[in-house]
Amino acid sequence: MTWQPHITVATIIEDQGRFLLVEEFKAGQHVFNQPAGHLEANESLLQAALRETLEETAWEVELTGIVGIYLYTAPSNGVTYQRICFAARALKHHPQRVLDSDIVRAVWMTRDELLADPTRWRSELVPRCIDDYLNGPLHSLTLIRD
């Protein structure tokens, strides 16, 4: 069997102590995640983060830095993901835009609201990325080389 990691992006968007998250329906349960998804062919990591955020939240954002790069193996299926997590600033909301089909809604939540129910995290990367964002450092986008 060939082992192949999946490259994903995620975006942390904060506004006055609230974070833009998505509620999605996975494995029969409603869970929270950052706007996130897979890198597509012929797409840069920056483009993927912007696209996934818009598709999942209807928000245009400006990327402001890199929170971290994570290697995560999902216990549910053994798939390994490499997640590049970006920080961003919300620019413009498009409330009429239809969200991706597996997204229930986009929601602004505080860290405490998210931490209140760990059973609703998509993975432990969700709070970890928020904590890493809050604790810094935030790395320059120039770290990414296309």
Residues 103-124 have pLDDT tens digits of 999 999 999 999 999 999 999 9
Residues 28-59 have pLDDT tens digits of 899 999 999 999 999 999 999 999 999 999 99
Q: Which of 4, 6, 13 is nearest to 85 (CA)?
A: 13
Residues 52-90 have pLDDT tens digits of 999 999 999 999 999 999 999 988 888 899 999 999 999
User: Encoding tokens for residue 34?
Assistant: 């950052």
Residue spans per domain, the chain: 6-137
Name beta bridge partners: 33: 22
Report the CATH architecture of 6-137.
Alpha-Beta Complex (3.90)
Indicate the DSSP class of residue 78.
-
